[in-house]
Chain A
Amino acid sequence: MIEAIDLSKSFGTTIAVDHINLAIKPGEIFCLLGSNGAGKTTTINLFLNFVAPTAGVARIGGLNVVEYPLETKKKLAYIPEQVTLYRNLTGLENLRFFSRLAGAAADSDEELLGVLTQAGLTADQSRARIASYSKGMRQKVGIAITIAKGASALLLDEPTSGLDPKASNDFSTLLADLSGRGVAILMATHDLFRARESGTSVGIMKHGRLVETLGTAELGHRDLEQIYLAHMKD
């Protein structure tokens, strides 16, 4: 469960996140939409405890991230726009490092290669250095870290930005798979199409506030675009 209760963050006089409330249950994919500077990344940073909230509470699995920074990070995984791993290490070595850091059970080459395969990388690709990876391949290592770690919450910050349509579609499939495993997912994105396709619900942020929350089941792509643009016009 990913939960925000009256969560706020100000940088000086600038309000980045303004009393947002949300609750993402296991298996749900919540897509956070909004223009640049709307507060999406700051919201994710608050859940990661990279910045301290000015007010309110951010919870992962029922635990306040400020009070239990290490415990909550055991439960969550994070995939940024650019999954920047150690370039001199292979995909397999990177996965081993991050999964050990997270205290994951999977450790042998076979187990880790199996996880990388689930994330869509072949054995040869897994043994190649990250320096030779495309962005899509690095995103897959990010997914593999999530799987290996057994995370119950996943935070994504514009993960499909810059991916080609095929890679983007593959990524959505992987997210659906994680959702099926009961992972609660919060994804900040500009991609309205992917949000409607992948998400179970979407939220529109503006000037730090969550101005609209919608279920995607009964929402057409065009409806979402019109609602989004209507909010952006204000």
Chain B
Amino acid sequence: MWFLARHEWRVLSANKIVRIVIAVFGIGLLVASGLGAARAERERATFGFFAHRGGIQQGGPRLSQRADVIANERGWLALLPPAPLSALAIGQGDVYPNYIKVTARSLDALVSGDQIEHPLAVASGQFDAAFVVLFLYPLLIFAISFDLTATERDQGTLRMVLAQPVTLRDVVAGKMIVRAIKLAAPLVLIPVGVAALSTPADGGFWLRAALWTIAVLTYGAIWHGMALLVNARGLGAPANALILAGIWLLFAVVGPSCVNLLIAVRYPMPSRVEAAVQARAATQEATVQGGRQLGQFLQDHPTSGNVGRDGMRQFALLQAQRDQRVAERLEAVEATFNAQLEKQRRLASWLSVVSPTMIAQGVLLDIAGTSTVRFDRFRAEASSFQQQWRAYFEPRVRYAATLTPEESAAAPSFSYVDESVAPAARRIAIPLVMMAIVAVALLAIGFRAYRGYAL
């Protein structure tokens, strides 16, 4: 079989069309990897810039050290560092914010929306290595595998080969191995190589890169299996090409689109704009309520001179009550938005089994660290940090305190620590095993079907 594979390598290498296909594929991969690496570099630079300027002392000592100003206005900018393999897959990175401004009042992310990229880019998806893997790779597998044996059978070469002491299974396996290597080698080496050169690669990077490689190869094996099965039917090369193009459309394009449509119909998503409007209305309503009490207070104390220390504290308490109302209303709006989002995700997770592309997308993004899992974790940690922030500042705000340098230094701080590779590996284990089972089954059925191949 290996001798046949070596021979097939030579034959395929001498084929101009295959050479062009591989060259275009390689260029596409280089471009996608280069764009991904440049984007990751920008993310690192931005993160470094803000991380350096972070903290409550940012802006210098001339800023007010009043507790309410720090707690409610200046807040803390919680930053999500670039994902471990963000150079390979942008994933949800163009939809979810990688920073959250934490104040005692709110987590300012839902309504800001300024993280979201150009809608056209979000709608069409980014051109990254994951896009090449998920959509172009299957198409190219079909492009060089639609004619495994059909033309050789029609021309008679296959009969010449099979008149030698060799089995058809070995001939086909040799052809498939070469095709798999020709596409998988650049597909794995170029993006991972570019990412490794441009990313500070640690142990976690290489573990994730290994998982990425396994997932990519398993995904590819599914499409090779489909190609094998169609070839084994014994039809001519044009018929194979037509059938395989239909299969690609069905599983990579139409299937995911139908799933999205189904989800949108079953759980229509309130738009972010609508959520932002609701949030603003809720904030305004609560502010007006609180404002009345504060207005009454100011009427009673027209000049700051006669307020006194107790008056300041009373004023701070009223402000805190108003902020609490605003926060509660905002949380309600966010909870509705997130609940609907969660329903969508759960349904999408179930329906993704209809398309290997959807399953693989979930797996690859999770490995890259750009799936919703990491953003949810970031938000949960930011929310938990907000509790600490509130707990630290609330008594000081009510006391209308001004922070001493020691108190500033002792204030809670946030630094996101990425989870290790193990939890991600556990999450992707089941979908990866599912993909492997499908791939093995398709290949086994394909080779079995080849037993009845008419020469």
Contact = CB atoms under 8 A, between A and B. Distances in A.
B165 A101 contact: yes
A73 B164 contact: yes
Contacts of A84: 155-157, 160
B190 to A, nearest CB: 27
Contacts of B7: 97
Contacts of A88: 11, 14-15
A157 to B, nearest CB: 9
B157 A86 contact: yes
A51 B156 CA distance: 15
A89 interface: yes
B165 A85 contact: no
Given A86-B11, A88-B14, A101 B166 contact: yes
Contacts of B156: 80, 82-84
How large, as a class, is the contact surface on chain B? 20 to 34
Interface in A8-63: 45, 48, 50
B159 interface: yes
B157 A70 contact: no
Interface string A97-133: 1101111000000000000000000000000000000
How large, as a class, is the contact surface on chain A? 20 to 34
A100 B3 contact: yes
A71 B163 contact: no
B10 interface: yes
Nearest to B162: A50
Contact of B165 (A45, A73, A93): A73
Consensus secondary structure, chain A interface: mixed
Interface string B420-455: 000000000000000000000000000000000001
B11 A89 contact: yes
Nearest to A98: B164
A9 to B, nearest CB: 13
Contact of A78 (B157, B159, B166): B159
B11 A101 contact: no
Given A101-B165, A101-B166, A80 B11 contact: no
Interface string B51-71: 000000000000000000000
Given A89-B11, A101-B165, A101-B166, A50 B455 contact: yes
Nearest to B161: A101
A76 interface: yes
Contacts of A76: 163
B284 interface: no
Contacts of A45: 455
Contacts of A71: 165
Nearest to B16: A88
Contact of A74 (B15, B161, B162, B165): B165
Contacts of B163: 48, 73, 76-78, 155
Interface in B163-179: 163-167
Interface string B3-41: 110010011001100000000000000000000000000
B160 A78 contact: yes
A50 B162 CA distance: 8
B10 to A, nearest CB: 7
A83 B163 CA distance: 12
A127 to B, nearest CB: 15
Nearest to A83: B160
A13 to B, nearest CB: 18
Given A50-B455, A88-B14, A101 B157 contact: no
A132 to B, nearest CB: 14
A80 B159 contact: yes
Contacts of B15: 88
Contacts of A74: 165
Contacts of B162: 48, 50
Interface in A163-214: none
Nearest to A81: B156
Nearest to B160: A84
A195 B311 CA distance: 124
Nearest to B12: A88
A102 B155 contact: no
Contacts of A103: 165
B165 A80 contact: no
Contacts of B160: 78, 80, 83-85, 98
B167 A70 contact: yes
Contacts of A102: 164-165
Contacts of B157: 84-86
Nearest to B11: A86
A12 to B, nearest CB: 13
Interface of B: 3-4, 7, 10-11, 14-15, 155-157, 159-167, 455
18 contacts: A48-B159, A70-B165, A73-B164, A76-B163, A80-B156, A80-B159, A82-B155, A84-B160, A86-B11, A86-B157, A88-B15, A89-B11, A97-B7, A100-B3, A101-B161, A101-B166, A102-B165, A103-B165
Given A86-B157, A93-B10, A101-B165, 8 more contacts: A50-B162, A73-B164, A73-B165, A84-B156, A85-B157, A89-B14, A101-B4, A102-B164
- 8 interchain residue pairs of minimum CB distance: A78-B163, A88-B14, A84-B156, A101-B164, A70-B165, A73-B165, A84-B157, A84-B155
